């Protein structure tokens, strides 16, 4: 009876040993497998291209002064008409031109500036805005605007309200191709890294697309826009 108990204990111990050994082997294999999958590399891919703007917003501001309010409004209307005719002769349609209400300042109503009497009591600022998709025509007209200055129109510039804007509105059209290029360049970098580290490149572990940025190519060519996007991709590595 005692010998039978010893034999049973021995068999049970053998099974436990084999079970623990098998469990240890499986856990070791899982750990190695996990370690392999935990190896990864994070790379960035850049896509950068230049496009011509497709919309221009050009505010043309001019000023006028007078001691008589009625004559001041007459001067504003006359100058506005001259600008409209000039733009029309240079390929800009009336549909592309808008006019704002003139801003009138009565200097006699101002409570600062000392006791010196201004030469003109009233001053006015008027803005004629060109909103056009014909970028080349608008740029050409900009270079000849001085011809109107010779007709007595006093243009004002340099402030924020009179800055010309160039817009690029076709971002959704070029997005897919640029994202594809950025992702392809990221994979090229990751492949080179895997080759140098004697590894094999695996599947994508994680990826994120950066925001698109649109900026002027340079100060002298604001109508040429530079588009830029960076994709960040993390790949698995294996031996």
What's the rounded mean pLDDT across residues 162-190? 93
Give 172 or 31, the one with higher predicted confidence: 172
> Could you read off the pLDDT of 200-236 as tens digits, one per residue?
888 888 888 888 999 999 999 999 999 999 999 999 9
- Residues 149, 185: one domain? no
Give 10 or 76, the one with higher predicted confidence: 76
* CATH code for the domain in which residue 93 is found: 3.30.70.2970
The answer to whether the CB of 164 falls within 8 A of the CB of 56 is yes
Q: Measure Cα distances from 137 to 75, 153, 219 in Å.
A: 27, 22, 20
> Could you read off the pLDDT of 138-149 as tens digits, one per residue?
999 998 988 888
Total domains in the chain come to 3
d(CA 39, CA 198): 13
- Residues 31, 86: one domain? no
- Residues 80, 150: one domain? yes
Residue with tokens 């695996």: 202
- Residues 45, 73: one domain? no
- The pLDDT score that the predictor gives to residue 32 is 38
Above 70 in pLDDT, residue 113? Answer: no
Structural domain of 34: 1-38
Q: Which of these three, 113, 134, 167, is where a domain ends? A: 167
> Could you read off the pLDDT of 66-76 as tens digits, one per residue?
999 999 999 99
- Residues 96, 195: one domain? no
Q: Which of these three, 114, 142, 167, is where a domain ends? A: 167
- The pLDDT score that the predictor gives to residue 162 is 78
Tokens of 126: 């008027």
What's the angle, vertex CA 55, arms to CA 52 and CA 58, rounded to 5?
115
Q: What is the pTM of this model?
A: 0.75
Q: Which of these three, 126, 147, 167, is where a domain ends? A: 167
Q: Where are the alpha helices (DSSP H) in 39-100?
A: 69-89
- Residues 179, 237: one domain? yes
């Amino acid at each position: 009876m005692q010998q039978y108990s010893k034999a049973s204990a021995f068999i049970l111990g053998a099974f436990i040993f084999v079970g623990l050994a098998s469990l240890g082997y499986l856990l070791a294999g899982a750990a190695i497998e996990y370690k392999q999958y935990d190896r990864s590399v994070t790379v960035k891919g850049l896509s950068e291209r230049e496009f011509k703007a497709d919309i221009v917003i050009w505010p043309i501001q001019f000023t006028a002064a007078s001691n008589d309010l009625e004559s001041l409004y007459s001067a504003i209307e006359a100058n506005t008409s001259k600008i409209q005719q000039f733009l029309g002769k240079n390929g800009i349609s009336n549909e592309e031109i808008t006019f704002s209400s003139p801003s009138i300042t009565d200097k006699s109503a101002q409570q600062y500036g000392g006791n010196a009497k201004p030469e003109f009591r009233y001053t006015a600022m008027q803005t004629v805005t060109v909103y056009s998709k014909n970028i080349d025509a608008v740029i050409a007209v900009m270079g000849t605007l001085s011809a109107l200055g010779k007709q007595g129109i006093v243009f004002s510039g340099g402030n924020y309200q009179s800055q010309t804007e160039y817009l690029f509105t076709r971002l959704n059209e070029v997005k897919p191709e640029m994202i594809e290029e950025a992702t392809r360049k990221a994979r090229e970098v990751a492949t080179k890294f895997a080759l140098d580290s004697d590894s094999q490149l695996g599947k994508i572990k994680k990826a994120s697309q950066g925001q698109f940025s649109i900026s002027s190519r340079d100060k002298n060519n604001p109508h040429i826009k530079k588009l830029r996007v960076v994709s960040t991709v993390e790949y698995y590595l294996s031996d």
